[in-house]
Structure 1
Amino acid sequence: MDIQKPGSFRTMDKAHADLFNQVIDQLNTNDESIAQFAAEAEQRSTAYIDAHIR
């Protein structure tokens, strides 16, 4: 699953850009963690099903 990451904000007011960029960075980190968790869950469920089919 490809995650499309939003870009950083650029503005004349650095304080606002830094504030919003921290939120964007956290959202990107969360998305990556969720994608990794989902991939691991899929692997575990596939292994579990394969083990119980036989």
Structure 2
Amino acid sequence: MDIQKPRRFETTDRAHADLFNEAIDQLNVNDERIAKRAEEAEERAKTYTDAHATKKIIRMQ
């Protein structure tokens, strides 16, 4: 999953760059954590379903 990160503010921006950059950095960290957890959950689900399918095949034989 590609995450588009918002750009950091430069000190030449009219907004208070130091104030907003802290929030943007935290949003980027949160997005990375969410993406990592989603990948881990997908892998666990695949492992679980593969194990279930294997048990079912063994029982049918």
Return structure 1 stretches of 4+ with deviation > 6 angstroms: none
Percent of paired sites with the same residue: 65
Aligned residues: 53
Aligned to 1:7: 7
Per-residue CA deviations over 1:1-53 (Å, capped at 9, x if unaligned) read 0111011112447xx21110000000000000000000000000000000001
Unaligned stretches of 5+ residues in structure 1: none
**Equivalent residue of 1:53, what SS?**
helix
Structure having greater relative contact order (Cα 8 Å, sep ≥ 6) = 1
Aligned to 1:24: 24
Unaligned stretches of 5+ residues in structure 2: 55-61
Normalising by structure 1, we get a TM-score of 0.88
CA RMSD in angstroms comes to 1.7
